[in-house]
Amino acid sequence: MNKINLENKNIFITGTSGFIGYYLAKRVLTEVEGVKVIGLDNMNDYYDVRLKEARLKDLEQYSNYTFIKGDLADRELINKIFEEYKPSVVVNLAAQAGVRYSITNPDAYINSNIIGFYNILEACRYNPVEHLVYASSSSVYGGNTKVPFSTEDKVDNPVSLYAATKKSNELLAHSYSKLYNIPSTGLRFFTVYGPAGRPDMAYFGFTNKLIKGETIKIFNYGNCKRDFTYVDDIVEGILRVMQGAPEKKNGEDGLPIPPYAVYNIGNSNPENLLDFVTILQEELVRAGVLPQDYDFEAHKELVPMQPGDVPVTYADTTPLEKDYGFKPNTSLREGLRKFSEWYKEFYM
């Protein structure tokens, strides 16, 4: 592995007004000496823009942060950013997220996740970088029944367009690593949650509905398991990976062996959806978001599985531990407690 010192470097992070991008940018800005972060976001209204604006406002207090409002699919803009700032490390977190939205709005996924990522790869081809790190997703595992999910597993059967675009990212990165010797690492994130998260995620949507006295739908009659991963753990993982790039080596034919890697970042502790909902409601009551005597049973509905969803996600993170000495470990209760306290402060 090729060690990278981030100090005094220009780092380009896409999706910095998004959930993970914001937390990563904040950590890099506050902890890395002499660093400059260039952030890109299109500030779209896929969810409550106030959240994106609040994240942006927080980052703009740092003098070493440069924000560019724009789209990954805008090739000219991406090329201009690379030419002007010459980033050493690129972290691509901007994407159209969400499995269910991909069924109704496929265009957004092709533009952002395929064309946008292609633009990043082309820019790295012509403006060499020390390391390209990009977000993949646990959704690439599709309906895999073998658990835990290992990066060695075959992942050729996506069950949603979102998953297919993320798998495509890995394939594109592999071919660019091979052809142009670009060190790239893909990170398959498992159900990321936390304060200032994405309102389209279950824990956030449930909270919004419970406050309004609406009923929450629990899919697959509650027999779903998710490997919930707290955002700080994800960011710690990304930060460590940024500093260790796959090594450039040539094969016997004299051509590059692709400096390419893929890792899972998950909690390796799948939680049943019903247990998850129980912990969430206890923490919402504790934080004062919901009243002590809230009748949860009256607001719960068990429904069948949705198209594009999978029954279980479960990360094998052994390679991440082995190569980077890190394993996510925030408990679901601790994470949901922090979310509930943030929710109370932000919305009430």
Residues annotated as part of the active site: 162
- 65, 30 contact by CB (below 8 A): no
Single-letter amino acid, residue 160:
S
CA pair distance 70, 44, nearest whole angstrom:
10
Write the CB contacts of 30 (distance below 8 Å, at least 6 apart in sequence): 62
Scanning the structure block, which residue is given the tokens 């069948």? 304
Report residue 294: phi and psi, to 5°: -60, 130
Q: Tokens 């367009």 label which residue?
A: 161
CA 39 – CA 280 distance, rounded (Å): 32
Comparing CA positions, the residue from 197, 203, 200, 138 lying closest to residue 19 is 197
Instruction: Identify any residues that bridge with 260 across adjacent strands, giving them in sequence order.
Output: 184
User: How far are the Cα atoms of 121, 307, 313 from residue 273, in angstroms, in the given order?
Assistant: 37, 17, 12
The span from the CA of 100 to the CA of 158, in Å, is 14
Q: Does residue 116 contact residue 71 with C-beta atoms inside 8 Å?
A: yes
The sign of the dihedral angle between the CA atoms of 166, 331, 15, 99 is: positive
State the Cα–Cα distance between residues 313 and 143, nearest whole angstrom: 9
Smallest Cα–Cα separation from 57: which of 9, 16, 11?
A: 16
Instruction: Confirm if 320 and 264 have CB atoms less than 8 A apart.
Output: yes
Q: Are 187 and 241 in contact (CB under 8 A)?
A: yes
Whether cis (ω within 30° of 0) applies to the bond prior to 148 is yes
